[in-house]
Amino acid sequence: PARYFDTKTTEPISFFLSGLEELLAWQPNSNDEFNVSAVPLAKRQPPLQSRRPRTLVCHDMRGGYLEDRFIQGSATRNPYVFYHWRYIDIFVYFSHHTVTIPPVVWTNAAHRNSVPVLGTFITEWTDGEKLCEAFLAGGEEAFGAVAEQLARIAQHYRFDGWLVNIENKLSAAAVGNLPLFLRDLTARVHSAVPGGLVIWYDSVLKDGTLRWQNELNDENRMFFDACDGLFTNYNWKEEQLERTQRLAGPRQNDVYVGVDVFARGDVIGGGFDTDKSLRLIRQYGLSTAIFAPGWVYEHLGKENFLQNENRFWGSLAAYLPTHSICTLPLSTSFSLGMGTSTFLDGKDEESGPWYDLSAQDIQPLYPEHPGTLSVSCCLQDAWCGGSSLQLQGTIPPGEERVAVRLFSLQMPAPPKLFLTLLYKLEGPQPDDFTVALEVTTWDSGICFEGNPTSLPEPNGRYHPRFLPAPPPGLAKLLAACHRGSHGWTSRCYELELQDCSLRDLSLIVSRQQPSPQETSFTCLLGEVRVLDTASVAASPPQVHGVTASQLWWQ
């Protein structure tokens, strides 16, 4: 069937639903199992609901369902990817189809990086009026059926809720039922999807007219009260932020102030000045909705996309609270879910472009310190997948080392950690440097390394013990300590901690010899793993009852 499979290649594809009939007729179907997300939403700290401003990204690119519709990937050159997951809290996939089901590759990548994904339910123009009249003016049974279907769709495909965007005027009967529909949808999504969300876009007013307010006020507050949040339109001024903050009261984090990166209309910021909008929004303690950050790709072009993308998000980082990893194992090869080649064990196994966001790895922080350190993605060389993480920087005169923070962590440390690292030093004198991992812990008077006789480290910095070979019980699983090849160096470490809480994982680049000169380095990271030794030693669960279906021979 053409909805589920590409007519040219027969490959499975992601899809949307058009109109009320398709929505109400939707049923799970054996053809759509490819579309069900296989990656559960990873836990994070602090939780999404904690009291701090959030960042929502609304992805709107050329109508949606581009190369990202191919569930098993495609041979796309220079595709659009998003990887600054640590800096955002919610990802919305937006298109102008009535029911936008997020392509499953996006849900997989976001979930792996602890970010929930929302689809879009939109009505607009005169067709939208008719559609709304049909389900909203019809009373509880009619709007209940729509709410039920939307909740079932999110539950079935395992994404996390909906952005609701009613961009057409409504009759008195329809607008009277709208808050009831929103309450019903929100309740059903909460019960069907753990941590589910329904967010309302600032459009229709309580009297049914379509007039964007660019703020929370008495004209649209009844819709905000009926769901999990409001995404405001983009043409706000500072006094509107002030009024919004006052009216939202304890729910100020549930107002996502819209920022259009394309800067259409009378807006503050946009493009590389988006930080100006964010600075104001955060002054009032409000959340933000960054609309169409694909501007970097569409406006500045595909060629220097990764460089421009790091510059764009780096310029906003001061206003984006990050979230931490709170579960082990942590294992990543830094792959972006794309490449110009496919690498395995450091070897270029297959040349040629590929794009598959489901294959994107857990992404690190991307700290930018202009002049001293830049962290970027390198497509030319990798240990596994399509890319490695490239660290370029300088060690200042008289200093021995530089620390690059890769991950923020927030969890109790197991008694024994096992860490592995694969790296490659580049540049004129790679032998001038050593590379190691550093683990920091949260300050506490009871946290010790190893045996209780050792003193606590000042400022909780621990340098895991280098292991020339893996511990006997893990040797088979972790042939990691001497598997470097193709110029990659492999290292294993062990760290024993008592009553500690993990805080950061950093990479330390040190000079072999002190020097009065500043020294530049380039280091590629191919893989980092942090494992709880006890759980790694346990044997993995057996797989039973494997079945194969959908076999096509060509």
CATH number assigned to the domain comprising residue 51: 3.20.20.80
pLDDT given at position 478: 58
pLDDT over 60 (residue 176): yes
Average pLDDT over residues 7-11: 90
Average pLDDT over residues 527-546: 86
In a domain, 246, yes or no: yes
Average pLDDT over residues 29-36: 92
DSSP annotation string for 158-211: T--EEEEEEES---HHHHHHHHHHHHHHHHHHHHHSTT-EEEEES-B-TTS-B-
pLDDT over 90 (residue 455): no
Average pLDDT score over the chain: 92
Same domain, 26 and 94: yes
pTM given for the model:
0.95
Q: Is 210 exposed, middle or buried (0-12, 13-18, 19+ CB in 10 A)?
A: middle
Average pLDDT over residues 251-259: 98
pLDDT given at position 448: 77
> Using 50, 70 and 90 to split pLDDT, how confident is the model at 474?
low
Same domain, 356 and 471: yes
* Domain termination site, one of 284, 299, 321: 321
pLDDT over 50 (residue 94): yes
Same domain, 440 and 471: yes
In a domain, 552, yes or no: no
List Cα–Cα distances, 467 to 8, 274, 331, 359, 475, in angstroms. 52, 46, 18, 30, 12
Domain of 277, in residue numbers: 16-321
pLDDT over 50 (residue 135): yes
* Domain termination site, one of 299, 321, 343: 321
- The C-alpha torsion from 275 through 278 and 282 to 287, rounded to 10°, is -140
Average pLDDT over residues 113-137: 97
DSSP annotation string for 258-316: EEETT--SS-S--GGGHHHHHHHHHHTT-EEEEE-TTHHHHHH-STTHHHHHHHHHHHH
Q: Which carries the bigger pLDDT value, residue 418 or residue 90?
A: 90
Structure tokens of 177?
């039922």
Same domain, 317 and 339: no
pLDDT digits (tens, 9 = 90+) for 197-234: 999 999 999 999 999 999 999 999 999 999 999 999 99
pLDDT over 60 (residue 128): yes
Helices 125-136, 172-192: axis angle to 10 degrees equals 80
Average pLDDT over residues 142-150: 98
With a pLDDT cut of 70, the percent of the chain lying above it is 94
What CATH number is associated with residue 447? Answer: 2.60.120.260
Pairing between β-strand 117-124 and β-strand 90-93 as defined by DSSP bridges? parallel
> Using 50, 70 and 90 to split pLDDT, how confident is the model at 475?
low
Angstrom distance (rounded) from CA 4 to CA 21: 18
pLDDT over 70 (residue 313): yes
Same domain, 80 and 161: yes
pLDDT digits (tens, 9 = 90+) for 376-418: 999 999 999 999 999 999 998 888 999 999 999 999 999 999 9
In a domain, 553, yes or no: no
In a domain, 545, yes or no: no
Same domain, 241 and 358: no
pLDDT over 70 (residue 449): yes
Q: Which of 1-5, 170-174, 347-351 has the lowest mean pLDDT?
A: 1-5
Same domain, 135 and 239: yes
Q: What is the count of structural domains for the chain?
A: 2
pLDDT given at position 457: 54
Same domain, 487 and 384: yes
Same domain, 43 and 78: yes
157 in Cβ contact with 107 (< 8 Å): yes
pLDDT digits (tens, 9 = 90+) for 289-310: 999 999 999 999 999 999 999 9
In a domain, 3, yes or no: no
pLDDT given at position 42: 98
In a domain, 235, yes or no: yes
pLDDT digits (tens, 9 = 90+) for 492-523: 898 999 889 999 999 999 998 888 888 999 99
Same domain, 338 and 208: no
pLDDT given at position 85: 98
> Using 50, 70 and 90 to split pLDDT, how confident is the model at 483?
low
pLDDT over 80 (residue 476): no
Radius of gyration of the chain (CA): 25
Pairing between β-strand 287-291 and β-strand 55-59 as defined by DSSP bridges? parallel
pLDDT given at position 471: 63
pLDDT digits (tens, 9 = 90+) for 335-383: 999 999 999 999 999 999 999 999 999 999 999 888 889 999 999 999 9
Strands (E) across 26-154 are located at 44-45, 55-59, 90-93, 99-100, 117-124
3-state secondary structure of 338: strand
Angstrom distance (rounded) from CA 390 to CA 394: 13
* Domain termination site, one of 321, 345, 380: 321
Q: Which carries the bigger pLDDT value, residue 145 or residue 483?
A: 145
Same domain, 261 and 377: no
In a domain, 544, yes or no: no
Same domain, 316 and 342: no
pLDDT given at position 451: 54
pLDDT over 80 (residue 452): no
Phi/psi at 468 (5° precision): -65, -25
In a domain, 357, yes or no: yes
Average pLDDT over residues 434-453: 78
